[in-house]
């Protein structure tokens, strides 16, 4: 574990150096007040996130892990029974995502499997990387915002494809109301819906960023508590108390990947629900985001 | 499953990759040299929100490349393997079902054959019993006929013997009567006439019950 951390720190430092070389603003950030929050943790980037090169390095690690997993998984595909554990786990993951998509969206949910599986893999492996390295791509708000923009954009595209442009826009106007009420309420609903759609980007990206980056900060803070806890024979004894958070962080890795993909399914089902449930339901499903972790 | 997923369609892979590369390069450029309208990023960062839209744009580009790559190299072989295995299992289950149906059919045929065999055996036994009964009846009737024939022959022989004995007795009695009469009368009467008289006498003097 320590070796991983050290390697991660070195990689991150390399990424940071590269980022700082290309980013003249980075030097300004280094003197900012937020940087002071970092303390003496080289891997902890405080509030100013990873540099462009840092994200690139972590993304390369994530993609390498996905590539390695893919190679290992594909070796186990020959045969009637999947005996290789990576293949078995991948199948479990695939079936889980497929059941989730079909359960929420319906049979059409299978057509989103490439999108869902890609998101799942990147988020899951990104979160796993954050367990062993000082940060990860999913611990970067900008990267998470990219995923959120892709999700929301794809949902809008699906809504337009299913309902037509005007049908999709009308979807934001809420239920059909009598003329007087429609004049008064429909514009408000429309604005609220637009805001809601915009906020989906914020909620998706901030949720993942907060969980991963916050989890990392919690581990670092708890490790700080265990620093110099005793001095035996002139040697400082450091207790990595933050390690006790690892099981929870591991759970977070899976839960956050699941939530991200689950919300995509919910959003898609909301913009295409008329196909399945008819107009009787109208807009009873609501357009707000369900409460999640 | 695979076909359903393949229907997702969307832009051609090459277009996605090209757009992805352009976005990556553009994002890197924006991140390195943020335009003036992105100056709010500094304010956000000062407030603890580290946002770099250049990274965001580049990450979108990465995902545009990653989607077809994952679909081709990760999902497609997995789906094919799962589909193949599912088909194999379905085929196995279908074979098992066919075998079960075949076994049920064979069992039914076997039971029918057993029933038929039992029926045939029963019919054959009944037929044999009937044949035996007919044979017995025929043998009894033949035996009866033979007994009757033997009785008839015996009766005829007895009748013949009786008649023969009676004739002899009659003749003997007639001779005795003649001799007795001859002795009594000492007279040799016409033999033929006496004999006729004796015969008539004997005929009227036959033993009752014959």
Domain span at residue B21 reads 11-100
Nearest CA in chain A to B88: A80
**pLDDT score for B11:** 66
Of B100, B119, B146, the last residue of a domain is B100
Is residue B48 less than 8 Å (CB to CB) from chain A?
A: yes
Q: Which tokens sit at A249?
A: 């962080």
**End-to-end Cα spacing for chain B:** 118
Give the domain ranges of chain A: 54-273
The predicted pLDDT at position B204 comes to 75
Burial of A179 (0-12, 13-18, 19+ CB in 10 A): exposed
Q: Phi then psi for A40, rounded to 5 degrees?
A: -100, 20
Which residue, A90, A52, A54, is CA-closest to A69? Answer: A90
Question: For all residues of chain A together, what is the average pLDDT?
Answer: 78
Mean pLDDT for all residues in chain B:
85
**What's residue A228's pLDDT?**
83
Residue B66 inside a domain? The answer is: yes
- How far is B125 from B119, CA to CA, in rounded Å? 10
pLDDT confidence bin for A293, thresholds 50/70/90: very low
A59: chain B residues, CB-CB within 8 Å: 59, 62
- A-chain CB neighbours of B67 within 8 Å are 114-115, 118
Note the pLDDT tens digit of each residue in A192-205: 989 999 999 999 99
Contacts of A282 (CB under 8 A, 6+ apart): A175, A176
Q: pLDDT at position B188, please?
A: 57
Return the pLDDT at B190: 62
Is a pLDDT exceeding 90 seen at residue B203?
A: no
B139: in domain = no
CB contact under 8 A, A52 and B31: yes
pLDDT-based confidence at residue A123 (cuts at 50, 70, 90): very high
Angle of CA points A159, A164, A168, to nearest 5°: 50
Q: Does A29 touch chain B if contact means CB atoms closer than 8 Å?
A: yes
From B100, B124, B146, give the residue that closes a domain: B100
Contact assignment for A52 to B51 by CB distance below 8 Å? no
B104–chain A nearest CA distance, Å: 29
Higher-scoring residue by pLDDT: B2, A28: B2
Closest CA to A34 of B120, B193, B42, B84: B42
Residue B1 in contact with partner chain A when CB distance is under 8 A: yes
Q: Are residues B16 and B82 in the same domain?
A: yes
Torsions phi, psi for A206 (to 5 deg)? -70, -35
What residue has token string 């039992």?
B118
Number of CB atoms found within 10 A of residue B32's CB? 16
Number of domains chain B is built from: 2
The pair phi, psi for residue B11, each rounded to 5°, is -70, 155
SS (H, E, C) chain B: CHHHHHCCCCCCHHHHHHHHHHHHHHHHHHHHCCCHHHCHHHHHHHCCCCCCHHHHHHHHHHHHHHHHHHHHHHHHHHHHHHHHHHHHHHHHHHHHHHHHHHHHHHHHHHHHHHHHHHHHHHHHHHHHHHHHHHHHHHHHHHHHHHHHHHHHHHHHHHHHHHHHHHHHHHHHHHHHHHHHHHHHHCCCCCHHHHHHHHHHHHHHCCCCCC
Beta bridge partners of A235: A232
* Mean pLDDT computed over B187-208: 70
* Last-in-domain residue among B84, B100, B116: B100
Whether B62 has its CB under 8 Å from any CB of chain A: the answer is yes
Condensed to tens digits (0 to 9), the pLDDT of residues A245-272 reads 888 989 999 999 999 999 999 999 988 8
A121·B70 Cβ contact <8 A: yes
The answer, yes or no, to whether residue A276 has pLDDT greater than 80, is: no
Reply yes or no on whether the pLDDT at B206 is more than 70: no
Q: Taking a contact as any Cβ pair under 8 Å apart, which residues of chain A between 85 and 124 contact chain B? A: 90-91, 94, 98, 107-108, 110-115, 117-118, 121-122
pLDDT of amino acid B189: 57
Q: Is B4 within a domain?
A: no
Name the token pair of A230: 């005793």
B65/chain A closest Cα distance in angstroms: 11
First to last CA, chain A: 28
How confident is the model at residue A153, as a pLDDT?
94
Residues B162 and B86 both lie in one domain? no
The DSSP symbol for A79 reads S
Shortest Cα distance, chain B CAs vs residue A17, angstroms = 13
What gap in Å lies between CA A275 and CA A258, rounded to an integer?
25
- CB contact at 8 A, A49 and A141: yes
Chain B partners of A146 at a C-beta cutoff of 8 Å?
A: 55-60, 62-63
Residues of A in contact with B28 (CB under 8 A): 52
B64 in any annotated domain: yes
**Residue among A67, A119, A116, A87 at smallest CA distance from B80:** A87
Interface-testing mutation among B30, B33, B74, with chain A (most A C-beta atoms within 10 A) = B74
C-alpha B196/C-alpha B147 separation (Å) is 42
**B137 within domain boundaries:** no
Give this prediction's pTM.
0.67
Cross-chain CB nearest to A146 (options B8, B59, B70): B59
Residue pLDDT, tens place only, B56-81: 999 999 999 999 999 999 999 998 88
Task: Out of A203-217, B92-106, B137-151, B163-177, pick the least confident.
Answer: B163-177
Chain A (148-177) residues lying within 8 Å, Cβ to Cβ, of chain B: 149-150
B93, B171: one domain: no
Q: Do B59 and A45 touch (CB under 8 A)?
A: no
Residue B172 lies in a domain: yes
A chain contacts of residue B34, beta-carbon cutoff 8 Å:
25
Lowest mean pLDDT across A32-46, A155-169, B55-69: A32-46
- Residue A178 clears pLDDT 60, i.e. is over it: yes
Q: How far is A176 from chain B (nearest CA, A)?
A: 32
A94's tokens: 């695939």
Q: Does A66 touch chain B (CB under 8 A)?
A: yes
Segment A26-51 mean pLDDT:
42
Cβ contact B32–A121 (<8 Å):
no
Please say if the pLDDT value at position B12 is more than 50: yes
Burial class (CB in 10 A: 0-12, 13-18, 19+), A221: middle
Taking alpha carbons only, the member of A57, A18, A16, A60 closest to residue A38 is A16
User: Measured between alpha carbons, how far is A221 from A215 in angstroms, rounded to an integer?
Assistant: 10
Position B130 in a domain: no
A171 close to A270: Cβ distance less than 8 angstroms: no
| Residue B144: predicted pLDDT | 93
Token pair 């899951």 is at which residue?
A124
Tokens found for residue A179: 């003329």
Mutation choice for B interface testing from A62, A113, A124, A201 by most B CBs within 10 A:
A113
């Amino acid at each position: 574990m320590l070796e991983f951390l050290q390697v991660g720190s070195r990689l991150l430092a390399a990424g940071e150096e590269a980022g700082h070389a290309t980013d003249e603003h980075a030097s300004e950030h280094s003197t900012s007040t937020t940087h002071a929050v970092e303390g003496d943790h080289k891997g902890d980037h405080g509030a100013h996130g990873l540099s462009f090169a840092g994200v690139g390095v972590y993304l390369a690690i994530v993609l390498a892990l996905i590539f390695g997993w893919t190679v290992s998984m594909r070796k186990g595909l020959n045969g009637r029974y999947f005996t290789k554990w990576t293949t078995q786990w991948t199948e479990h993951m695939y079936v889980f995502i497929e059941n989730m998509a079909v359960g929420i969206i319906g049979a059409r949910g299978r057509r989103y499997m490439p999108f869902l599986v890609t998101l799942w893999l990147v988020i899951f492996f990104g979160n796993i990387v954050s367990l062993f390295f000082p940060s990860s791509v999913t611990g970067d708000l900008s990267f998470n915002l990219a995923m959120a923009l892709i999700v929301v954009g794809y949902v809008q595209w699906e809504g337009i494809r299913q309902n037509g442009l005007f049908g999709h826009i009308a979807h934001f106007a809420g239920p059909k109301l009598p003329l007087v009420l429609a004049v008064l309420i429909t514009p408000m609903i429309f604005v609220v819906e637009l805001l809601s759609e915009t906020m989906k980007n914020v909620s998706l990206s901030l949720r993942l960023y907060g969980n991963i980056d916050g989890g990392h900060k919690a581990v670092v803070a708890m490790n700080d508590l265990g620093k110099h806890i005793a001095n035996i024979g002139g040697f400082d004894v450091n207790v990595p108390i933050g390690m006790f958070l690892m099981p929870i962080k591991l759970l977070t890795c899976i839960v956050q990947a699941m939530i991200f993909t689950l919300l995509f399914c919910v959003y898609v089902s909301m913009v295409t629900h008329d196909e399945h449930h008819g107009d009787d339901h109208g807009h009873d499903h609501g357009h707000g985001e369900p409460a999640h972790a | 499953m695979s076909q359903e997923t393949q229907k997702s369609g969307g832009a051609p892979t090459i277009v996605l990759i090209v757009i992805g590369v352009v976005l990556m390069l553009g994002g890197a450029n924006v991140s390195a040299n943020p335009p003036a309208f992105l100056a709010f990023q500094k304010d956000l960062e000062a407030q603890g929100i580290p946002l770099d839209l250049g990274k965001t744009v580049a990450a979108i580009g990465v995902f545009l490349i990653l989607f077809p790559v994952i679909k081709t190299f990760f999902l497609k072989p997995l789906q094919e393997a799962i589909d193949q295995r599912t088909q194999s299992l379905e085929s196995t289950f279908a074979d098992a079902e066919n075998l079960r149906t075949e076994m049920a059919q064979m069992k039914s045929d076997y039971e029918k054959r057993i029933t038929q065999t039992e029926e045939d055996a029963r019919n054959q036994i009944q037929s044999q019993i009937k044949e035996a009964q007919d044979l017995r009846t025929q043998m009894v009737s033949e035996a009866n006929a033979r007994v009757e024939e033997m009785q008839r022959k015996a009766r005829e022989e007895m009748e013949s013997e009786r008649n023969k004995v009676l004739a002899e007795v009659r003749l003997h009695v007639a001779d005795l009567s003649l001799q007795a009469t001859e002795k009594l009368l000492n007279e040799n009467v016409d033999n033929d006439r006496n004999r006729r008289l004796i015969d008539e006498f004997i005929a009227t003097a036959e033993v009752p019950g014959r």
